[in-house]
Structure 1
Amino acid sequence: MLRSILVTALVLVAFLTSAQDKEVGQLQSKEKQPTARQIFSSHYAFKYQAALRYNDYRVAKDALYSLLVENPQNDSILYSLSALYFQMQQYASAALTSNDLVTRNENHIGGLEVNANSLEQLGAKDKALDKYESLYLLTDEVQVLYKIAFLQYELGRYAESMTNADILLGKKELEEMSAVFQTTSSEQKEYPIKVALYNLKGLVYQEQGDKAKAKEFYNKALEIAPDFAMAKENLASVDK
């Protein structure tokens, strides 16, 4: 669900570079020498951009650390670093850096997104859920609520999961949304999000011991997508 985090981070650092170049230019036009910090920051920002262009994440990371040393209070740099760690699948580092960012700016949407996704990848589902809930309060995005509903199910918070699944099923924009799942023939295929939500409701009812309702929602999912593997498997498991 992480939407173009690295691209956004690159834009932010590019903006920083542009601002620094402008500042350096203004100083030079006034016959003043730029400070060492400004010179180094401009150098490392260009180094970061070049490293990303050539897909060298290690060098890009080093450049960001150098930028952070020169500009320790700059949220854009810390966000770029956390996003890069996530892109490199170094989820522990992504979680730590994004947590520092969210600690000093609790409404930083990008920081919350990286933090929530990183914690989920690390298996810290309860902490990830807290971050997704904070993110949803700021964005009201369907994709975030979708994540929340499934994490609530996995954590045994069935009533909340069911409520959020119903909220999602009532949203018009859901009709346009899909996600990739494995088919019964083990291929990857896009399915309407509604299929996954019907399957989720079936799972909740099954956990609560209501076999009839569980079957009803598994069958609803299969009416839309007869090859949806999870609903097939779950339906077969109800009477076992």
Structure 2
Amino acid sequence: MKNLIYILTFIITTSVIAQQNTTIAFEKSKLQLAKTYNDENIITSSIYNIIALEGPQSTYKDSLAYIYFNKRNFVSCFLVTNDLLKTKPDNLELLEMNAVSLESMGALEKALEAYENIFTITNDNYQGYKLASIQFRMNKNEDAYATIKKADQLSGNETLKVTFQVNQNYSQNVSVKAAIAYLEGLIAQSLEKTPEAKLCFERAIKLFPDFVLAKSKLEIINAQEQEK
């Protein structure tokens, strides 16, 4: 009798697993088809179904985080990345999406902690720029000045651009090194270091000659000097 129960249990378990595997394979096939036709709703739905079937350790959670990030759904992206970072605390891409999500949500204290962690790990000039910009927004000007000067000493990201909104109708993509020089100038101004700020704006223009905002700041400083 016991052997019969064991056999029946094995058959049922095997059947359930086989059925589940078939369902997962179907959802993955549907997901690939949805990607072919760029149907974002079906893509998201299929990923949720796969995660539900595979369980908490499903690798498709990462895909879900990217989807929310690319759609600028930063609340959902934060929640997914926050969950994933519990088991992948050193995953740089997840850390970056998490930090950007926090910043976009206006949670600056948490964003500050996230960017501090990333900058410590990467020693990357762009991440230093991001950290300094958060510190500056939070009026932590001395900290921001120290961070941006450190970022300025770092190389890399030569092809990366930072977008600046010049006015309602015009934005400008600027090289990272020029963006760093510009931010350093803004922070120097806030610390009443006008000569240092002027040099920073001049350096930003040298690095990116069409830098509209840097030119504007430099013109203001030059005009103030002429008035004295």
User: For 1:166-187, what per-residue CA distance to the aligned partner results, in whole angstroms no more than 9, with x for missing partners?
Assistant: 222222325x344154698976
Please give the alpha-carbon distance, in whole angstroms, between the structure 2 residues aligned to 1:217 and 1:68. Answer: 50
Q: Is the Cα–Cα contact under 8 Å of residues 146 and 168 in structure 1 kept in the other structure?
A: yes
Cα gap change, 1:51 to 1:180, in 2 (>3 Å): same
Name 1:68's counterpart in structure 2.
51
Structure with the larger RCO, 1 or 2 (CA within 8 Å, 6+ apart): 1
| In the alignment, structure 1 residue 207 sits paired with structure 2 residue 156 | no
- 1:1-240 pair list within 5 angstroms: 35-74=18-57, 76-173=59-156, 176-181=158-163, 190-238=173-221, 239=224
Measured after TM superposition, the shift of residue 136 of structure 1 is 3.3
Cα deviation code 1:112-161 (max 9, x no counterpart): 22211222222223222222232334444433223222222222222232
Between the aligned partners of 2:87 and 2:123, the Cα distance in structure 1 is: 22
Equivalents in 2 of 1:184, 1:99: separation in Å?
34
Q: Does the CA contact (< 8 Å) of 1:222 and 1:232 recur in 2?
A: yes
Question: Partners in 2 of 1:163 and 1:192 — Cα distance?
Answer: 21
What count of residue pairs does the alignment treat as equivalent? 208
CA distance in 2, matches of 1:103, 1:219: 45
**TM-score between the two structures when normalised by the length of structure 1:** 0.74
Please, which moves more after superposition, 60-69 or 72-81?
72-81
Relative to structure 1, is the Cα distance of residues 121 and 52 closer, same or farther in structure 2, using a 3 angstrom cutoff? farther
Q: How far, CA to CA, are the matches of 2:123 and 2:164 in structure 1?
A: 28
Between Structure 1 and Structure 2, whose CA radius of gyration is higher? Answer: 2
- Answer whether contact 1:47 1:63 (CA < 8 A) is retained: yes
Q: CA deviation at 1:67?
A: 1.0
Q: Distance in 1 between matches of 2:58 and 2:220?
A: 49
Local SS of the residue matching 1:73: coil
Q: How much has 1:194 moved relative to structure 2?
A: 1.9
C-alpha contact (below 8 Å) 1:182/1:229 kept by paired residues: no
Distance of aligned partners of 1:135 and 1:180 in 2 relative to their CA distance in 1, 3 Å threshold:
closer
Deviations 1:82-128 (A, max 9, x none): 11111222221111111111234322333222211222222223222
TM-score scaled to structure 2, two decimals?
0.77
Query: Is contact 1:79-1:110 (8 Å) kept?
Result: no
